[in-house]
Amino acid sequence: MLLVFFIGFLTCCSALFSNYYESYTGKRISVEEFKEHVKRNTSFWCTNEILPCNPHEGRRLDGSCNNLKYFTIGASHTPPYRMLPPYYSKGPMGFEPKLTKGGEEMPLPRAVRTSVLLEGHIPNLEFTHMLTHFLVFIVGDFVSLQDTVTYIIWKPYCCSERGKKDYACVPNSIPNDDPIHRFSDIRCLNMTRPESFQSAGCTPNTTVPERAVSGTPAFDLSHVYGSSMKVLNEKGRMFQKGLLKYEVENGKIWPPSTKGPNLCYANQPPRETRCHDTPEDGLNTILGGNLMAVWIWRYHNAIATALGGVNPCWDDDRLFFTTREIVIASIIQIFYYEVLPLIMGRENLINDGVISPDLGFRDIYDDSLAPQISIEYPFTWRWMHTVQEGNVKLYDSKGYHLNDLKLVNMTLRTGYVAENIDGITQGAIRQPMAKFDNAVDFDMAEVVLGPHQRASDVFTNDLAKNRYFFLAPYIKYREYCFGERIRSFDDLSHAFEPERIELLKEKYKDVEDIDLLVGMWLEKYIPGGTVPATFYCIIAHQQLRSVVSDRHWYERPNRPNAFTLDQLLEIRKFTIAGLLCAVGDSITEVQPKAFLRAGRGNEMINCKDIQQLNIMAWRDSSCRKNPFG
C-alpha cells in the first residue's frame, strides 16, 4: 500500500513540476508553460527538457548535469557569461551599439576595417592550411551558424527597401570613398542582428540581448553528435556495433546523405549531389568543418569496430558511448596539446595551467565554477579570419599541384567537397596558410560568401558584431588582462608599434572608443606565440575554465567512466597526423607534425610509422570466455 502511495506521489510531482526549464534563467516551468512556448514557436530557443541528474552517468549529449549544483548550465541553448559588463546605448527600438565617449556614432565598421587591415596575399612559411581547417571545425563545436544562414537564405534583402522595415536587419554602410567600392554602385553589405534570447522571445525587451547558440559550451563535438538524443537516434546511430550510420560511395565512407531539400544551396547538380544528413546541419557549411566532420565520422566507426573486435561481449550502447568518449578526448588532445602550443606558446600555456607538462592525470575540477564559455571567447576566435587563406590548392599524393579553388565558393557546397576530397586533403598538409600579420585575403575581405551575396566583408561583419555583442572597449580588456591603467593613446606605446597607434588615432577620437577586435588586429603578439596578447589572454582564460569546470574532462581520474592511466597514455599519443593516416583520403604518408610544413626534422614518413591508439588498452577481460565454464 505504501509503495502504491509512493508511486502515485511521484507521478503527481512529475506532472506538477515537469522536466522543462527556461534555457535562459534555468527556472523550472510547468507543462502548461512549455505548451505556451510551443504555441508561440519559442520552445526551441527558450526551453530545455532536462531529466534528473545521475552523478554516476557519463557526458550527456545536451550538456546538462555537467555540474550537479548548476545542472541546467552547460546545456545547449543556455547563455554565456561575460568577462566584462556589456557596453551599449538605449535607443527608441531597444538596445543598440554604444556611442563614442563623446556621445557620437562610432566610426563605420567598413571604414575602420579598410584603414587598419591591408589586403594582399602573404603565405606563411611555417604553418599548413590544415591548421585553419582544424580551427574552423573546433570553433563550430560551441557556436551556431544560424546568423550566417539567416542573412544568406532567410534575410538576404537587408540592403533593400524591405530591409529598412525589418528590425533584424543591420546592414553595414560602405562610405563613398571606399578603396574598392568607390568604383562600383555597392554601398551596403548585408547583415542581420545576432540571434539572442531577446530576439527569440525568451526574455523581455528590457533585458540586454544575450547571444543564443545551439551548441553546448563544452568541448564535446556537439556539432558532430548533436545535442539531442532523439535527433542522434534518428539521424546518427545505426544501433549496430556502436556505429554511426554511413554510406559507401566510390570506395569511400561518408556520413549519410539527405535525399530531400537541404542546406547545400551551392551544389552544382547533376554531378554535385551529396549533402550530409547528420544531427547538425552546420557540418555542410564551411570547408574546414566539412572535412573534419567526414574524418571524425569515419574515425568513430573505425574505433567502434576495433572496440567491438577486442570486446565481443559489449552491447551497442556501450560500444557507441565509449567510442564517443575516445573520439572527443582524441580531438581535445589535438586541440590543447598540438594546436594551441603552436600559436600561443607551449611554455605560456603550461605556466598559466592550461595544459599539463606531464602525461598523467590532472584533477583540477571546481564544482563552484559553472561550465560556460564567455561571450568574448568565440568572438575572439574571429581574429583568425586574418590568417585565413582564400585560395585552396589541390595536390595529388605525390605532391604535384593539380588545381586551385576559391574557399569562398565552398560554403554550402558539400557536393564539390565529396568530388574533390582527395586533392583538398593533400593540399591541407602541403599548402601554407596565410601569414600572421595585418594583411588579409582579398576574397575574405570583399567576397566571403561566394555566389550567396553580391559582396561581403567578413572583417567588417566581425567588427559590427563586436558592437552588437555589446563588448567592452579594447582598453577595458587590456586592463582586465594585464592590470594596466590606460588613459591616453600614449599609454598604448608598449602594446602597439608607433605607426599602428597613428592608425588608431585616425579613426578613434578617444582611446576608450577602440573596439576590442580592432585592438587585437593591430596589437603586438604575446612573447613565445604568434597571436595578439589580448587574444591570448581571452582564449587562455577560457581554455583553463573549460578544464576546471567540466566534470567529464578527459584528463580527470575521478570522473564517471574515467580512462585508466594506460588509456589516457594512448590518447596522449594521438595527433592530427594520426587522424589523417587513420581516415584521411589518399593519405599514405604525412609529416608527423602535420600543422607544420614538411621539411628538415619534419619530413614526410609512411603512415605505418605514425602512432595510432592501441585499442588493447580498452580490452575488457570479462569478455574472455571462461575455459572452465
Cβ distance 514 to 475 under 8 Å?
A: yes
Q: What is the pLDDT of residue 625?
A: 64
- The count of domains in the chain is 1
Tell whether 45 is covered by a domain.
yes
Give the tens place of pLDDT for each residue, 594-615.
999 999 999 999 999 999 999 9
Residue 178 and residue 343: Cα distance in Å, rounded? Answer: 33
Read off the pLDDT band of 517 (50, 70, 90).
Answer: very high
Cβ distance 332 to 220 under 8 Å?
A: no
Cβ distance 111 to 507 under 8 Å?
A: yes
Tell whether 326 is covered by a domain.
no
Rounded alpha-carbon distances, angstroms, from residue 328 to 11, 377, 425, 560: 37, 20, 22, 15
Q: What is the pLDDT of residue 151?
A: 67
Tell whether 577 is covered by a domain.
no
Looking at the predicted structure, is the pLDDT value of residue 257 above 50?
yes
Question: Hey, how many other C-beta atoms are within 10 angstroms of the C-beta on 502?
Answer: 11
Average pLDDT on 530-537 reads 98
Which distant-in-sequence residues (6+ apart) come within 8 Å of 298 by Cβ?
A: 246, 253, 582, 583
Strand partners, 406: 391
User: What single letter denotes the amino acid at residue 565?
Assistant: L
Looking at the predicted structure, is the pLDDT value of residue 4 above 60?
no
Tell whether 427 is covered by a domain.
no
Going 553 to 559 to 563 to 565, the CA torsion angle's sign is: positive
Looking at the predicted structure, is the pLDDT value of residue 12 above 50?
no
Q: What is the pLDDT of residue 146?
A: 66
Q: In degrees rounded to 5, what are phi and psi of residue 49? A: -100, 115
Read off the pLDDT band of 408 (50, 70, 90).
Answer: confident
Q: Of 151 and 623, which is predicted with more confidence? A: 623
Tell whether 252 is covered by a domain.
no
Q: What is the pLDDT of residue 94?
A: 81
Cβ distance 42 to 199 under 8 Å?
A: no
Helix (H) or strand (E) segment spanning residue 570: helix 565-572
Least confident of 223-227, 259-263, 481-485: 259-263
| Residue 489 burial by Cβ neighbours in a 10 Å radius (0-12, 13-18, 19+) | middle
Looking at the predicted structure, is the pLDDT value of residue 349 above 50?
yes
Strand partners, 118: 439
Looking at the predicted structure, is the pLDDT value of residue 13 above 70?
no
Q: What is the pLDDT of residue 154?
A: 78
Strand partners, 440: 119
Q: What is the pLDDT of residue 527?
A: 97
Question: Hey, how many other C-beta atoms are within 10 angstroms of the C-beta on 617?
Answer: 17
Looking at the predicted structure, is the pLDDT value of residue 313 above 80?
yes
Q: In degrees rounded to 5, what are phi and psi of residue 611? A: -65, 140
Question: Hey, how many other C-beta atoms are within 10 angstroms of the C-beta on 625?
Answer: 8
Cβ distance 447 to 461 under 8 Å?
A: no
Tell whether 250 is covered by a domain.
no
Tell whether 364 is covered by a domain.
no
Average pLDDT on 115-144 reads 92
Average pLDDT on 428-442 reads 92
Average pLDDT on 319-345 reads 98
Read off the pLDDT band of 142 (50, 70, 90).
Answer: confident
* pLDDT mean across residues, the chain: 92
Q: Residue 30's domain spans which residues?
A: 20-49
Q: Of 280 and 3, which is predicted with more confidence? A: 280
Whole-structure pTM value? 0.94
Looking at the predicted structure, is the pLDDT value of residue 11 above 70?
no
Tell whether 389 is covered by a domain.
no
Residue 479 corresponds to which cell in the numbers above? 586592463
Looking at the predicted structure, is the pLDDT value of residue 74 above 80?
yes
Average pLDDT on 268-273 reads 90
Cβ distance 120 to 413 under 8 Å?
A: no
Looking at the predicted structure, is the pLDDT value of residue 65 above 50?
yes
Helix (H) or strand (E) segment spanning residue 233: none
Looking at the predicted structure, is the pLDDT value of residue 176 above 90?
yes
Give the tens place of pLDDT for each residue, 229-246.
999 999 999 999 999 999
DSSP-derived secondary structure for 434-500: E-SSSEE-HHHHHTSSGGGSS---HHHHHHHHHHHTTPPPHHHHHHHHH-----SGGGGTTTS-HHH
Block residue for cell numbers 566610426: 107
Q: Is 385 annotated as a binding residue?
A: yes
Q: Which of 176-185, 430-439, 522-531, 617-626 has the highest mean pLDDT?
A: 522-531
Looking at the predicted structure, is the pLDDT value of residue 320 above 60?
yes
Give the tens place of pLDDT for each residue, 535-567.
999 999 999 999 999 999 999 999 999 999 999
Block residue for cell numbers 565512407: 253
